[in-house]
Amino acid sequence: MLGYILRRLLLTLPTLLLVAVAVFVLMRLIPGDPVQLMLGDMADAAQVADQRARMGLDAPLPVQFGHWVHALTQGDFGRSISDQQPVLPLILERFSVSAIIVLVAVALAVALAVPAGLMAAWQQNRPADLLIVLGATLLLSVPSFWLGLLLLLFFGMHLGWFPVIGYVPLSQDLIGGAWYLVLPVITLVMIETGVLTRMARASAIEVQRLEYVTHARAKGVPDWQIVARHVLPNAFAPTLTLIGLVLGNLLGGIAVLETVFTLPGLGRLLVDAIFARDYPVVQGVLLFTALIYVLVNLVVDLLYPLFDPRVRAP
Amino acid sequence: MKKNLTALTTCVLAAAVGWPVTAEAQAQNQTLRVRLNADIRSTDPGVNRDFNSDGIVLHMVEGLVSLREDTSVGPLLASRVDTSPDGKTYTFTLRQGVKFHNGATMTAEDVVWTWKRYLDPATNWRCLPEFDGRGAVKVTSIEAPNPSTVVFRLESPSALFLGSMARMDCGGAGILHRSSLGADGKWAAPVGTGPFKLGEWKRGQYLELLRFDGYTPRTDASSGYTGAKKAEVERVRFVIVPDAAAAKAALLSNNLDLIPEASSSDLQELRARQDLKVEISGTMGLNGLLFQTRDPLLKDARIRRAIALSLDTEEIARTVSEGLSKRNNSAIPSSSPFHSQVQAAGHKQDLAEARRLLTAAGYSGQPIKLIATKRYNSLFDAAVLVQAMAQGAGIKIDIEVLDWATQLDRYSKGDYQLMSFSYSPRLDPALSYEMLMGPKDKQPRKVWDNPEAQARLAVATDSADRNERQAIFDDLHRRMLEEVPIVVFYNGADVAAMRRNVTGYKAWPASLPRLWNVRLQ
Amino acid sequence: MRWHANGVVGAALVGMVLGVALVALWWTPYDPLALNLRAKLQAPSVAHWLGTDEFGRDVASRLMAGASSSAIVAVATVALATALGVVVGVLSGFLRGWTDRVLMALNDTLLAFPGILLALALMVIVGANRWGIVLALGLAYAPSMARVVRGVVLSLRETEYVEASRMIGNSATVTMLRHVLPNCVAPVAVLATSMFGWVLLSESALSFLGLGIPPPAPTWGNMLAGSRPHMQTAVWLGLAPGLCIALTLLGINLLGDALRDRLDPRMERT
């Protein structure tokens, strides 16, 4: 088991390296100079060049890349160009904000989606099923930021129940801080429930038709037992894969939600850094995200055999 | 006992409901919540700064001189400034008994120490080029003959010396106590003489300034950064809200007290609300349409003039600024004392004449690219209007929208045909023209390359004779209208929106927010 | 039975949108780009069925033009992603070995890239126009298509058709074209249908963040983004494009469901 995990992690190194190079090159290709941005329209070329030299931005690209990778091996992600702060602590802090929202939202969504999907599958083609599917499809058709804006407009501004801007870390104030997260989490839950419900339903339907289920039914085993022992675990497996994909991709898509709800999360950090051409931050965030993506998929693969006995444990 | 219990229960219930607004309402008399649209870069005056950083820093540090309300230069930490007849020696007499945040009294020695640090290249002070001879001034020596006098000697006289000292983007050359640096000689936190001192700074979230109880105010009336300043609130919390719509929502729902630069398109809505009020001020920034005079098509002055003639700059100014600004086709801001009658003359729309010039120049409908950005609404809106108006004269303009970093890059390289651009404020007319003029071979970002005009500008920069300078500026303006390297539309206006219980806040041409003398009723 | 209902409703919604998009290529009530500064932010009325925006432009006309724009971008993007994905997937799944490893490594790299960075980079390099978006999103979605196709090909490889084809001497290319590709059509079609929806959402998200097809040309995404400052005073500005996106997506998803039900032989038809 340990060997498998290590091997998987090692195998991802080439991909990570590729990502690192691609990000590095791509960012430098985009026109726009972080130093020019910092100094504004008042600075002349000499001042800009001088500042670039101070920050080591005038060295040849391979040299800069080498420095960066070398620092990485020592756990140093470099310093942000904008405010000279170390990148890794910044990423971790922002990540904790995004992660909490995503994890809570996905957990809630799963708790809603799996029973809904099972119910729909069990009642296939009857009114309950149609209603659930229509609801799920509607939910995932709505643009997340539009939903967020509407919720903010209604519950935040109109009713005044929730704060409209800002953020208080949970470590500082558990209850007060949680209040800032309610609306973004609800937005995400609504959308992800739609996606996951459909998947849960589809895999549940597939399992239902399997012979051992019909066999159990014929034997007279009560419905709930069938669901609990056979349908649920098997339906969950593909849903698990989807959860993995969803989690991995969500970090990218969450930038818009963080903009709407003014949360200091990882998505917004990336977007702001790209606009500011803050190379170390962009590179750091991307590398970190790729790593998370790999880890999440690894966990999913490890959990899979628990739910689907047909898949051999690694 | 019972009252305490009730209060306690209420608090517990409120906390359980988790309603931050109520809890904050209780603290409202102590904390003023102001919007910041992005985190600041650092608290080191004039070092690693941007507009927001300047605003914060200037609450904590004060320079020898600074800006008055009308953007002229007046004494701040100095009680008087004497200039020698040859213009090369400036003697600053310091005010007595001014305290630093750590309780120490400011003396001439602190001034000399601070300036030595600014002029040290290792500090990376933004305004170093202005004082070491690369710019207008070369400081040859700074001395403290006694604890309350500092003497600066210059290599040659310049009208810009005091103005450069007061520059906001250099931290106003704020005087610091040496304990602002850590034991390792690196920047720690500003220990200045300002009415506020640094409180908590949670990067990415908020920054707090605390009232400095030992502040030593001037006795003259408050004016700009000079005069009597008093921190009326105990704490100012600058909340970082990058998104303008979210900031507005926060103000409306009493999660913010003040937005120093609200969007002008919200003006009507904000004015209509009973619980808000609005302060407006013209600013010294410049919005305009840049031409690349070396472009194969636009190098023909007739085409440039035709484009200028197709525009109704009054309409553009009025629409883009939501009625807050009037047309100003001069490089010198309307609020400047040098904005004379001559400067008030400008472009008039004349479609027939435009067409005539186009035909004469042989323009046959070739598309011209106009660069704009969505980052600043005014720039984008202006571009849309330019495109629509130019169409009336048969000029085909395509708008190319870039992100700000890319646009700034193209600006600094001169790589564009037309560009909707905005310049940050310049407080002296010589600087206003200097930002537009220069040899394109060495400074590709400059729009106007005319050696004769540049020579005239150099004279105006060094001269201290007001009439001579005004005459030169008027001449430059006339030439600019002729040659059309740029069509200036207007100087911006700031709309400050605040809750009704905020009193004493004034917007002003220099734009930076000032939270002293501001009260929460 | 159910896929009938899905298909009908879905097709109706999508058909309506496509119809409007087609019509908008020739006619809209007003010119979507025509400014009218005296009539800014007007509520819906007889003259302007959906009101006017912050420049006085007719919202209904802009919605229609936006439909055309979004339709073109979506079709082009999905075509690009599908073409790239199919090529990579078939080559990778069929040839296996080093080709497979290299292609999949590149594929995963692309998957790990956040769309926004790719979009910004490409749009800046290619130019801030719709082709930049098409390229960016096409490249962003091609990897998913490639993975799906590769999966299908891998399972098909071992079937009798393919073995028989190789045995009678057909080259790899011919086998790929004649036997493998046609069997990919079903899963590709299903995924492609979903992709239309993703593209629509991505384009609006990018516009929201300040990228995306630049104004003044209208897209639903940039109309939604532009409505934000006026959310309270001019609600219709935000509701209209948002509803359009949601309904279109609903139609696409229902249609996709119907398609999947129809094409997937494993699903029992009731």
Of A40, A82, A157, the CB nearest to B424: A40
B12 inside 8 A of chain A by CB: no
Of C35, C210, C229, the CB nearest to B388: C35
Residue of C nearest to A202 (CA): C267
Q: How far apart are CA A44 and CA C37, in angstroms?
A: 39
The helix (run of H) or strand (run of E) holding residue B467 is helix B466-483
Q: Are residues A97 and A184 in the same domain?
A: yes
Residue with tokens 């209420």: B10
HEC string of B236-286? EEEEECCCHHHHHHHHHCCCCCEEEEECHHHHHHHHHCCCEEEEEEECCCE
Query: Is A79 part of any domain?
Result: no
Encode pLDDT of A151-192 as tens digits.
888 887 778 787 777 666 776 667 777 888 888 899 989 988
Grade residue C267 by pLDDT with cuts at 50, 70 and 90: very low
Encode pLDDT of B505-517 as tens digits.
999 988 899 999 9
Chain B: partners with 3+ C-beta pairs within 8 Å: A, C
Query: Is A264 part of any domain?
Result: yes
C→A contacts (Cβ < 8 Å), by residue, are: 1-2, 5, 105-106, 108-109, 112-118, 120-121, 124-125, 197, 201, 204-205, 208-210, 224, 228, 231-232, 238, 242, 245-247, 249-250, 252-254, 257, 266-268, 270
pLDDT-wise least confident of A239-243, B148-152, B335-339, C105-109: A239-243
Residue of A nearest to B203 (CA): A90
- Interface test with chain A among C101, C117, C230, by most A beta carbons within 10 Å: C117
Amino acid, single-letter form, for residue B46: G
* Average pLDDT taken over every residue of chain B: 89
* pLDDT value at residue C163: 73
Q: Are residues A33 and A165 in the same domain?
A: no
Q: Are residues A237 and A147 in the same domain?
A: yes
Encode pLDDT of B439-469 as tens digits.
999 899 999 999 999 999 999 888 878 899 9
Of C215, C228, C231, the CB nearest to B401: C215
Of C115, C246, C252, the CB nearest to A143: C246
* pLDDT value at residue A154: 84
- Is residue C178 within 8 A of residue C90, CB to CB? The reply is no
Query: Is A62 part of any domain?
Result: yes
Chain A: partners with 3+ C-beta pairs within 8 Å: B, C
State the smallest CA–CA distance between residue C250 and chain A in angstroms.
5
User: Using a CB-CB distance cutoff of 8 angstroms, which residues of chain B are in contact with residue A44?
Assistant: 443, 445
Which ipTM was obtained for this model? 0.75
What's the rounded mean pLDDT across residues C112-131? 71
* pLDDT value at residue B279: 93
Whether residue B80 is predicted with pLDDT greater than 90 in this model: the reply is yes
State the smallest CA–CA distance between residue C168 and chain A in angstroms.
36
Q: Domain holding A208: CATH number? A: 1.10.3720.10
* pLDDT value at residue B367: 93
What percent of chain B has a predicted confidence (pLDDT) above 90? 64
* pLDDT value at residue C200: 85
Of C109, C231, C238, the CB nearest to A22: C109
Last residue of a domain, one of A73, A103, A128: A73
B408 inside 8 A of chain C by CB: no
Q: Are residues A66 and A104 in the same domain?
A: no
**Contact at CB, A15 and C108, closer than 8 angstroms:** yes
Q: Are residues A176 and A258 in the same domain?
A: yes
H-assigned helices in chain A: 2-29, 34-39, 45-54, 61-73, 87-122, 127-141, 144-151, 174-208, 211-219, 223-226, 232-260, 266-275, 279-307
Q: How far apart are CA A254 and CA A289, in angstroms?
A: 12
| Count of A-C CB contacts under 8 Å | 116
Q: Are residues A161 and A25 in the same domain?
A: no
User: Using a CB-CB distance cutoff of 8 angstroms, which residues of chain B are in contact with residue A165?
Assistant: 239, 241, 246-247, 249-250, 255-256
Question: Among residues 307-336 of chain B, which lie with CB inside 8 Å of chain C?
Answer: 315, 319
Q: Are residues A131 and A169 in the same domain?
A: yes
User: Using a CB-CB distance cutoff of 8 angstroms, which residues of chain A are in contact with residue B243?
Assistant: 259-260, 262
Of C54, C210, C230, the CB nearest to B375: C210
Query: Is A150 part of any domain?
Result: yes
State the smallest CA–CA distance between residue C3 and chain A in angstroms.
10
What's the rounded mean pLDDT across residues B12-32? 51
Give the residue, C156 or B129, on which the prediction is more confident: B129
Query: Is A80 part of any domain?
Result: no
**Contact at CB, C247 and A141, closer than 8 angstroms:** yes
User: Using a CB-CB distance cutoff of 8 angstroms, which residues of chain B are in contact with residue A175?
Assistant: 15-16, 18
Grade residue B97 by pLDDT with cuts at 50, 70 and 90: very high
Last residue of a domain, one of A44, A73, A102: A73
Q: Are residues A98 and A67 in the same domain?
A: no
* pLDDT value at residue B117: 95
* pLDDT value at residue A45: 79
Last residue of a domain, one of A73, A108, A132: A73
DSSP B121: G
The domain of A67 spans: 2-73
Of C55, C124, C230, the CB nearest to B384: C55
Encode pLDDT of C86-115 as tens digits.
999 888 887 778 888 888 878 877 777 766
Residue of B nearest to A29 (CA): B406
3-state secondary structure of B473: helix
Q: Tell me the β-bridge partners of B198.
A: B209
What's the rounded mean pLDDT across residues B52-58? 94
B94: alpha, beta or left, given left = phi > 0 and alpha = psi -120 to 50? beta
- Interface test with chain B among A44, A80, A182, A257, by most B beta carbons within 10 Å: A44
Grade residue B125 by pLDDT with cuts at 50, 70 and 90: very high
Query: Is A81 part of any domain?
Result: no
Q: What is the bridge-based pairing of β-strands B519-520 and B502-503?
A: antiparallel
Residue of B nearest to C215 (CA): B401
**Contact at CB, C113 and A286, closer than 8 angstroms:** yes
State the smallest CA–CA distance between residue B408 and chain C in angstroms.
13
What's the rounded mean pLDDT across residues B346-354? 93
State the smallest CA–CA distance between residue A306 and chain C in angstroms.
23
3-state secondary structure of A86: strand
Amino acid, single-letter form, for residue B66: S
Query: Is A313 part of any domain?
Result: no
State the smallest CA–CA distance between residue C208 and chain A in angstroms.
7
Grade residue B332 by pLDDT with cuts at 50, 70 and 90: very high
State the smallest CA–CA distance between residue C11 and chain A in angstroms.
15
Between the CA of residue B95 and those of A40, B78, C65, what are the distances in Å?
Answer: 35, 6, 67
Number of domains chain A contains: 2
Query: Is A82 part of any domain?
Result: no
Q: Are residues A23 and A137 in the same domain?
A: no
Q: How far apart are CA A249 and CA A267, in angstroms?
A: 11
Question: Among residues 326-365 of chain B, which lie with CB inside 8 Å of chain A?
Answer: none
* pLDDT value at residue A230: 66
Q: Are residues A68 and A123 in the same domain?
A: no
Whether residue B106 is predicted with pLDDT greater than 90 in this model: the reply is yes
Residue with tokens 């500008």: B457
* pLDDT value at residue C268: 40
The token pair that represents B447 in the structure block: 């729009």
Output phi, psi for A174, to 5 deg.
-65, -50
Residue of C nearest to A13 (CA): C105
Residue of C nearest to A22 (CA): C109
* pLDDT value at residue B317: 92
Whether residue C49 is predicted with pLDDT greater than 90 in this model: the reply is no
**Contact at CB, B48 and A44, closer than 8 angstroms:** no
Q: Are residues A49 and A131 in the same domain?
A: no
User: Using a CB-CB distance cutoff of 8 angstroms, which residues of chain B are in contact with residue A47?
Assistant: 129
Q: How far apart are CA B79 and CA B94, in angstroms?
A: 5
Of A54, A160, A264, the CB nearest to B204: A264
Of C55, C215, C231, the CB nearest to B245: C231
Residues whose CB is less than 8 angstroms from the CB of residue A201 and which lie 6 or more positions away in sequence, other chains included: A116, A117, A118, A120, A121, A129, A132, A133, A136
Whether residue B1 is predicted with pLDDT greater than 50 in this model: the reply is no
What's the rounded mean pLDDT across residues B192-198? 95
3-state secondary structure of A20: helix
Q: Are residues A115 and A233 in the same domain?
A: yes
State the smallest CA–CA distance between residue B276 and chain C in angstroms.
16
* pLDDT value at residue B4: 45
Residues of chain A with pLDDT under 50: none
* pLDDT value at residue C238: 83
Q: How far apart are CA A183 and CA A149, in angstroms?
A: 10
Give the residue, B352 or A121, on which the prediction is more confident: B352
